[in-house]
């Protein structure tokens, strides 16, 4: 099959996000200017470079009550955030933290998670997370949109500190079987890494 109009795929649901999968989940902690904590997952997320280490994620659209997502507002005001990585065991807490609640609600508390002080940013990371990337905000790229009510944003951040739970390190490497990162698939589906194999470069 082929289609080029996103409304004319003739399938049960739009397959775009199922095709671009699995996607890692940036579980972003941020803080407003009053110190109120915020936490939300974003699967339009990935690493973009190693030198320096940079990541992007996309807080798109307005909140259901209008206005930008709290995460974007906080990051633009404070210039800092943390990308916590999520594993299989934290899947329900991650999902709870995606609830559309007001900016006054601390989703750490909502999801029963522990804020742990970071080293190079004021925003705490999730103590229970297998790993966390402390980030300084670099820029927001406002992307085109075909929905006048919704904005598309690409937030870029530089990683300025990395926390790793020692329990997922084995022989000096990240043990994927212990890490079990949660991945977003299409629809309401998720996956985790249960099958790891090696392919060596030709040269
Ligand atoms: C697994 C998962 C992935 C998500 N990915 C995105 C995303 O990439 N971009 C986005 O704008 N919202 C995404 N959401 C929805 C946000 O998490 C949700 O809108 C959240 O309430 C935003 O919170 P905030 O207003 O505190 O920033 C995702 C939700 C889940 C559960």
Q: Where are the domains of the chain?
A: 24-192
- Ligand 1 atom 14, closest CA: 42
Assigned architecture for domain 24-192: Roll (2.30)
Query: Residue 164 Cα, ligand 1 centroid: separation in angstroms?
Result: 24
Q: Which atom of ligand 1 is nearest to the CA of 57?
A: 8
Distance 120 CA to ligand 1 centre (A): 25
Residue 149's pLDDT is: 87
- Which residues of the chain fall short of a pLDDT of 50? none
Which atom of ligand 1 is the closest one to the Cα of 60?
11
Residue bearing tokens 């990935």: 46
What's the first-to-final CA gap in the chain, in angstroms?
A: 37
Please check whether residue 87 is in contact with residue 179, taking contact to mean a CB–CB distance below 8 angstroms.
yes
Residue 65 is predicted with a pLDDT of: 78
pLDDT in tens, 38-57: 999 999 999 999 999 999 99
pLDDT attached to residue 67: 84
Angle at 27 between CA 21 and CA 29, to 5 degrees: 155
Judge contact between 18 and 187, C-beta under 8 A: yes
Confidence (pLDDT) at 66: 79
């Amino acid at each position: 099959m082929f289609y080029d109009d996103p409304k004319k795929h003739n399938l049960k649901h739009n397959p775009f996000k199922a095709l671009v999968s699995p996607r890692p989940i940036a579980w972003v902690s941020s803080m407003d200017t009053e110190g109120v904590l915020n936490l939300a997952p974003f699967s339009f997320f990935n690493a973009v470079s190693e030198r320096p280490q940079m990541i992007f994620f996309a807080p798109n659209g307005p909140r259901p009550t209008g206005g930008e997502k709290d995460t974007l507002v906080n990051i633009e005001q404070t210039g800092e955030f943390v990308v916590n990585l999520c594993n299989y065991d934290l899947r329900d807490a991650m999902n709870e933290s995606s609830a559309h609640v007001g900016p006054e609600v601390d989703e750490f508390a909502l999801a029963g998670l522990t804020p742990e002080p970071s080293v190079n940013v004021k925003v705490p990371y999730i103590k229970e997370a297998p790993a966390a990337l402390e980030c300084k905000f670099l820029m927001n790229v406002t992307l085109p949109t075909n929905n006048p009510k919704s904005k598309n944003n690409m937030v870029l951040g530089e990683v300025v500190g990395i926390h790793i739970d020692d329990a997922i390190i084995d022989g000096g490497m990240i043990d994927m079987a212990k890490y079990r990162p949660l991945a977003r698939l299409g629809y309401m589906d998720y996956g985790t890494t249960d099958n790891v194999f090696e392919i060596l470069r030709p040269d």
